[in-house]
Structure 1
Amino acid sequence: MKKELSKYIPMIKMLAQTFGKSCEIVLHDLSQPQSSVVYTINNHVTGRQIGQPFDHLIKQVLLAKDFTDDYKANYLICTPDKREIKSSTVFLRDSTDKIIGAICINYDLSALRNIQNFCNDMLMIDTETIPSEIEPFDHVVEIVDDLIDKIISNTDVATLKRKDKIELIHFMEKKGVFLIKGSIDKVAEKMNISKVTVYSYLDEIKKMEN
């Protein structure tokens, strides 16, 4: 783990102890998007494991209407067993103002739902829907462009077989990269393939998923 990120671990431990076992905290290293999780505490909440990729940074954080000052608070995710999780995410910058990581707080609302009237403030969630493609603000484009760079730069695209290229496109599609207007052009350029090829891969992915 990078020293710049390890300095946040005492704060993460303090927050986890403050809010108890229902509070999971995950530290991401965004220089390695495909395996960004580098530290977790109370990971029984969602089962996040070190070495896993990010899940919600683009779809529910960067594309949220009220995303500002590098953070998004109180958005809703659900676990495979249908538990509601209230999540908040803040991006971390280095001394050069470059995004290097993120801290995600995931709070299991199961117990609090039983006393919802008493905990209305604690249970405030964002039900914003995400459009198929939007034209985001400049600061969002900067972060997503950086993620695209890191996702692709971690792979020697010149040596990839077709199925590997589809797998890489699929990873970016699942993470919401292509919700950003112009991202298909950028990915095509960086992978040295045509935009038409990216669209054909995405069509193939949709057929496989259906």
Structure 2
Amino acid sequence: MLGDDIEIILHDVTDLENSVVAISETNLSGREIGSPVTNLILKMLKEGRSQHKSFITNYEGVAKDGTVLRSSTFFIRNAKDEIIGMLCINIDYRKMEQVIDYLNKFVGVCKPAKKKSPPAVEHLSPSIEDLAKSSIKEIVGGVNIPPERMSQEERLEIIEKLNENGIFLLKGIVSIVAEELCTSEASIYRYLSKVKKVHGSV
């Protein structure tokens, strides 16, 4: 009904590692049934920011191929007001931008300045490994030090930020994080233990 430029996905958040349970044929993000929850939703669940929200709308979602989508998420709650699922809508608005550009040029109107994008960007990853890699890449990018050259303090800082973003809510994520940070699983658990001592929870 909505056309080829809109993707609709249904998530079951009782299984974060395989949360996608249904997806429209208009697959824009490259995900499939069994793909994990996104980094943004993990962070919201970790921080409890979704506690009093019914939905979040009009934020940027980035597909694996780099396509930027306009995304919205609607929370599905049970009788206890706990989030058990999400209905997500992703829109590829590139055609709309092309039409606007054409009309602006046709009528001689200068293109208005783009509004600032929301600070949070959702990575629409098809697998847990891709989700971990994109989350780590985003954080490591701000440090400008290759993982194999990081000190213990720098790795600890990365682990702390990943924990704040809720990445460790996923099962089996420690081995992936260890590989990406060029260290052992035992080291990751030690870092997490230090974070727990400082903040009181993991």
TM-score, with length taken from structure 1: 0.50
Residue of 20, 35, 58 corresponding to 1:37: 20
Give the 5 Å matches for 1:45-84: 45-55=28-38, 56-59=40-43, 69-84=53-68
Give the CA RMSD over aligned residues: 4.6
Aligned residue pairs, count: 139
Higher relative contact order (CA 8 A, sep 6+): 2
SS at match of 2:100: coil
Q: Report the CA distance shift for 1:60/1:106 in structure 2 as closer, same or farther (over 3 A).
A: farther
Residue of 71, 74, 77 corresponding to 1:87: 71
TM-score, with length taken from structure 2: 0.51
Q: Report the CA distance shift for 1:77/1:129 in structure 2 as closer, same or farther (over 3 A).
A: closer
Equivalent-residue separation in structure 2 for 1:25 and 1:66 (angstroms): 20
Displacement of 1:47: 1.7
Equivalent-residue separation in structure 1 for 2:69 and 2:83 (angstroms): 25
Equivalent-residue separation in structure 2 for 1:125 and 1:87 (angstroms): 15
8 Å CA contact 2:10, 2:88 repeated in 1: yes
Q: Which residue of the partner structure matches residue 128 of structure 1?
A: 119
1:106 aligns with 2:90: yes
Equivalent-residue separation in structure 1 for 2:8 and 2:116 (angstroms): 18
Displacement of 1:80: 3.6
Displacement of 1:166: 2.3
8 Å CA contact 1:92, 1:101 repeated in 2: yes
1:166 aligns with 2:174: yes
Q: Which has the larger radius of gyration?
A: 2
Equivalent-residue separation in structure 2 for 1:57 and 1:166 (angstroms): 19
Give the 5 Å matches for 1:12-31: 17=1, 19-31=2-14
SS at match of 1:89: strand
Question: Unpaired runs of 5+ in structure 2?
Answer: 104-110, 122-138, 140-159, 181-186, 195-202
Equivalent-residue separation in structure 1 for 2:6 and 2:74 (angstroms): 16
Moved over 6 A (4+): 60-63
